[in-house]
A and B are shown apart, each in its own frame.
Chain A
Amino acid sequence: MIGRHLIEPRDCSVEELEGIFQLAEKIIEAPETYAEACKGKLLATLFYEPSTRTRFSFEAAMLRLGGSIIGFDDPNASSAAKGETLSDTIRTICAYADAIVMRHPREGSAKLAAESSDKPLINAGDGGHQHPTQTLTDLLTIRQEKGRLENLTIGVCGDLKFGRTIHSLIRAMDRYAGIRFVFISPDELQLPSYVKDEITYASYEETKNLEAVMGELDILYMSRVQRERFVSEEEYLRLKDIYVLDAEKMKKAKPDAMILHPLPRVNEISVEVDQDPRAKYFEQAHYGMIVRMALLMKVLGVKEND
Chain B
Amino acid sequence: MINVSKLKKGLVIDHIAAGSGYRIFRQLKLDELNDVVILMRNVPSRKMGKKDVIKIENHINLDLEVLGLIDPHATINVIENGNRAKKIALVLPKRVEGILKCKNPRCITQYEKVEAPVFYLANEEEKTYRCSYCDSPTQFEGGE
Could you jot down 18 A-B contacts, CB within 8 Å? A85-B112, A85-B113, A106-B106, A106-B107, A106-B111, A106-B134, A107-B106, A107-B108, A107-B133, A107-B136, A108-B131, A108-B134, A108-B135, A109-B108, A112-B109, A127-B106, A127-B134, A128-B106
In the bound complex, CA of A105 to CA of B111 (Å) = 11
B91 to nearest A CB, angstroms? 22
In the bound complex, CA of A166 to CA of B21 (Å) = 45
Which residues of the other chain, A, contact B113 by a CB distance below 8 angstroms? 85
A257 to nearest B CB, angstroms? 33
- Of A85, A87, A129, A194, which one neighbours B134 at CB under 8 angstroms? A129
Q: Do residues A129 and B135 form an inter-chain contact, with CB atoms below 8 A?
A: yes
- In chain A, positions 79-120 with a C-beta closer than 8 Å to chain B are 85-87, 104-109, 111-112
- In chain B, positions 75-113 with a C-beta closer than 8 Å to chain A are 102, 104, 106-113
In the bound complex, CA of A129 to CA of B81 (Å) = 55
Which residues of the other chain, B, contact A128 by a CB distance below 8 angstroms? 106
Which residues of the other chain, A, contact B42 by a CB distance below 8 angstroms? none
Which residues of the other chain, A, contact B110 by a CB distance below 8 angstroms? 106
Q: Interface of chain A, helix or strand or loop or mixed?
A: mixed
A135 to nearest B CB, angstroms? 15
In the bound complex, CA of A127 to CA of B102 (Å) = 16
Which residues of the other chain, B, contact A87 by a CB distance below 8 angstroms? 112
- Whether A59 sits at the interface, judged by CB under 8 Å, is no
Tally of contact residues, B, Cβ under 8 A: 18
- Whether A138 sits at the interface, judged by CB under 8 Å, is no
- Whether A126 sits at the interface, judged by CB under 8 Å, is yes
- Whether B48 sits at the interface, judged by CB under 8 Å, is no
Which residues of the other chain, A, contact B36 by a CB distance below 8 angstroms? none
In the bound complex, CA of A105 to CA of B137 (Å) = 19
In the bound complex, CA of A108 to CA of B131 (Å) = 9
- Whether B114 sits at the interface, judged by CB under 8 Å, is yes
Which residues of the other chain, A, contact B108 by a CB distance below 8 angstroms? 86, 104, 106-109, 112, 126
Which residues of the other chain, A, contact B134 by a CB distance below 8 angstroms? 106-108, 126-127, 129
Other A-B contacts than A108-B131, A108-B132, A111-B133, 18 sampled, CB-CB below 8 A, are A85-B112, A85-B113, A86-B112, A105-B106, A106-B108, A107-B104, A107-B106, A107-B134, A108-B107, A108-B133, A108-B134, A109-B133, A112-B109, A112-B114, A112-B133, A127-B106, A128-B106, A194-B137
Which residues of the other chain, B, contact A109 by a CB distance below 8 angstroms? 108, 112, 133
B81 to nearest A CB, angstroms? 48
B39 to nearest A CB, angstroms? 38
Task: State the 7 A-B residue pairs at the shortest beta-carbon distance, nearest first.
Answer: A108-B133, A108-B134, A107-B134, A106-B108, A109-B108, A108-B108, A107-B106
Which residues of the other chain, A, contact B111 by a CB distance below 8 angstroms? 106
